[in-house]
Structure 1
């Protein structure tokens, strides 16, 4: 087997999943949400490869992938930001009481 055979099979599988979903053969909520995250990650990876090889189109692909990924993960990013703010506030309060 050639070295790109596995990658080609993976691309075919992802394409088939997307096609089945668009044709109405839904494979469940979990598969759809995972595919919604995998495609932007693949776009960022392909964009990185394009940037590394000196292709200007790589910046566009990576940028679109990052925008899609950030929009999909926005709720998790906000939750992590809130936890960070709470932790920072608590550490500031502990620092003030220790100085008295």
Structure 2
């Protein structure tokens, strides 16, 4: 079997389909399935853009990114909270006022 772009894509599709099927019959992969679909959408959108279907590939890529951002919203919120605390602390240190 020669591995080129089409066979690599076929292996990706087979793997994703197998994981979805395993999830449906009761073999749960934890949170992996929730992240697998958006990552697959991003990959499919990228391949669509590379193959010349820019509009369809861009739409699929954008949807995958938006879904993945929604999955990581708790992490983004944590990063923003730590950044706000660090910035506020640096502002207090910078005042240096003595009363």
Q: So what's the TM-score if we normalise by structure 1?
A: 0.76
- SS of the residue corresponding to residue 77 of structure 2 reads helix
- Summarize the alignment of residues 40-55 of structure 1 with structure 2, pairs less than 5 Å apart: 40-55=38-53
SS for the counterpart of 1:32 is coil
Rounded Cα–Cα distance in structure 2 between residues aligned with 1:36 and 1:90? 36
Runs of 4+ deviating beyond 6 Å: none
**Unpaired segments ≥5 residues, structure 1:** none
Q: Number of aligned pairs?
A: 95
Q: CA deviation at 1:62?
A: 0.9
Distance verdict in 2 for CA 1:6–1:54, change over 3 Å: closer
In the other structure, the counterpart of 2:87 is 88
One of 34, 40, 59 as aligned partner of 2:32:
34
Deviates more, 1:48-57 or 1:84-93: 48-57
Report the Cα offset of residue 14 of structure 1: 2.0
Q: CA deviation at 1:25?
A: 1.6
Aligned-pair Cα RMSD in Å: 2.2
Change (3 A) 1:53 1:12: closer
Partner of 1:25: 26
1:4-15 superposed matches below 5 A: 4=4, 5=7, 7-15=9-17
